[in-house]
Amino acid sequence: MPPISSLECSRCRHYLSNDQPRTVCPACAGSLYVRYDLTKIDPASRPGSGGRQNMWRYAMVLPEVEPVTLGEGWTPMLRSRRHPNLYLKEEATNPTGSFKARGMSMAVSMARHYGLKKLAAPSAGNAASALAAYAAAAGIQAHIFMPCDVPMANYLEGVAYGANVTLVDGLISDCARMVAERKDDEGWFDVSTLKEPFRVEGKKTMGYELVEQLGWEYPDAVFYPTGGGVGLIGMWKAFQEVEALGWVRPGKRPKMIAVQASGCAPVARAYKAGEAVSKFFEDAETFAAGLRVPKPYGDYLILDIVRESDGTVIDLDDNTILQSLLDWARNEGLLLSPEGAAATAAYDHLLATGFLSPSDRVVIFNTGAGLKYIDMIADAMGLRRPGKKKLPKRSPVAGIITPV
């Protein structure tokens, strides 16, 4: 594993050392990127067939730390049965059923390394589940704040993993405010999306993996359901690194397609308006719970990356997302999360508009397991369990064997 050479501010390019835990840039509050001296990494260290079957197969490009691992990463890349050039990166197989495991494995590993004892995070749901699980594995306290209408699975996981769970009558932005107000008094270290540098490092492994699983070649486009945008930012960083390391065949980087729900589409709006940052999206509402982020902290990074990659940002309404979810369940045998289904719906849309063609090689992220959302999906489908059948009164056993 390489030692970190510095932390670099993504906004003002200020450099900081990593000798103490850091949140954001002290000069401008920008998110920090972890930098290494990549010239010190042997290009021949590129993982081959024998590497570890989890995200730590990329340990040579991750911070030098003892991992807190539950087996995250190295998820399947499934080829669609209907579109020969379409691949689904199935993140449902991660611990806690979502890609958030990658970021939290890395962030909690670093927290343990720094000796931090209490971590806090606002979350749309899955980040809280992952933080709760990794904190439990590391013997660290987790304080998680989620909207009160998060999927039941996220609430249950938080409680089951022994985290301190607060359900908030509001959105993730209200949860973030509560963490910010209380963290100093409570001695919590804030691991909020993009306010802590290591979750991006964990999520960047999705970029390494997809390139490796395609034979160290870029696809033409990557679809990423975007809330806070950590995965998209992490993958773009991974692409810069694989190029610097000479691990990828020369070629154009993929178009990055950020996908949002129309009920909460701050980045899509900003993209269409040609803005560099987003505005707070009022009255955010969608059953794709992870996309309910009304003002992503790293909006400027997401917008920059999408534009630099010649990608786009699109948003789909909940009904279109649900139809795509059912389409993939019935025709591909995969129960996607609503966030993943937003991405599959976006693919259909961009094929229809001609932005992409069926010959383009595309990777879509199903960022979480559909099974984590049974309450939300059932509601969206209007599905209720049929009324309980009355059980027949138990006949006395004797009555069956011998007439009474």
Ligand X SMILES: Cc1ncc(COP(=O)(O)O)c(C=O)c1O
Binding interface with ligand X (CB under 6 A): 98, 100, 124-127, 193, 225-231, 290, 337, 339, 367-368
C-alpha 21 chain-centroid distance: 23
Can you tell me whether residue 27 is helix, strand or coil? Answer: coil
CB of 31 to ligand X, least distance (A): 12
Q: Tell me which of Zn ion, ligand X, none is bound by residue 179, counting a contact when its beta carbon lies within the kind-specific cut-off of 5 to 8 angstroms.
A: none
CB of 98 to ligand X, least distance (A): 5
- Rounded-to-10 torsion of CA 86, 241, 127, 254: -30
For Zn ion, the closer CB: 32 or 88: 32
Given the rule CB under 5 A, which residues bind Zn ion? Answer: 9, 11-12, 14, 25, 27-28, 30
For ligand X, the closer CB: 57 or 204: 204
Give 172's Cβ-side CA count (13 Å radius).
27
For ligand X, the closer CB: 131 or 245: 131
Phi, psi (rounded to 5 degrees) for 326: -70, -35
Q: Tell me which of Zn ion, ligand X, none is bound by residue 202, counting a contact when its beta carbon lies within the kind-specific cut-off of 5 to 8 angstroms.
A: none
* The residue type at 337: S
CB of 336 to ligand X, least distance (A): 9
Can you tell me whether residue 207 is helix, strand or coil? Answer: helix
CA distances from 46 to 34, 41, 57, 214, 242 (A): 20, 9, 9, 14, 9
**Structure token digits, residue 70:** 């539950």
Q: Tell me which of ligand X, Zn ion, none is bound by residue 158, counting a contact when its beta carbon lies within the kind-specific cut-off of 5 to 8 angstroms.
A: none
For ligand X, the closer CB: 211 or 288: 288
CB of 24 to Zn ion, least distance (A): 8
Scored b (16 or more CB within 10 A) or e, 183-205 reads beeeebbbbbbbbbbbbbbbbbb
Q: Tell me which of ligand X, Zn ion, none is bound by residue 27, counting a contact when its beta carbon lies within the kind-specific cut-off of 5 to 8 angstroms.
A: Zn ion
CB of 302 to Zn ion, least distance (A): 17
Q: Tell me which of ligand X, Zn ion, none is bound by residue 97, counting a contact when its beta carbon lies within the kind-specific cut-off of 5 to 8 angstroms.
A: none
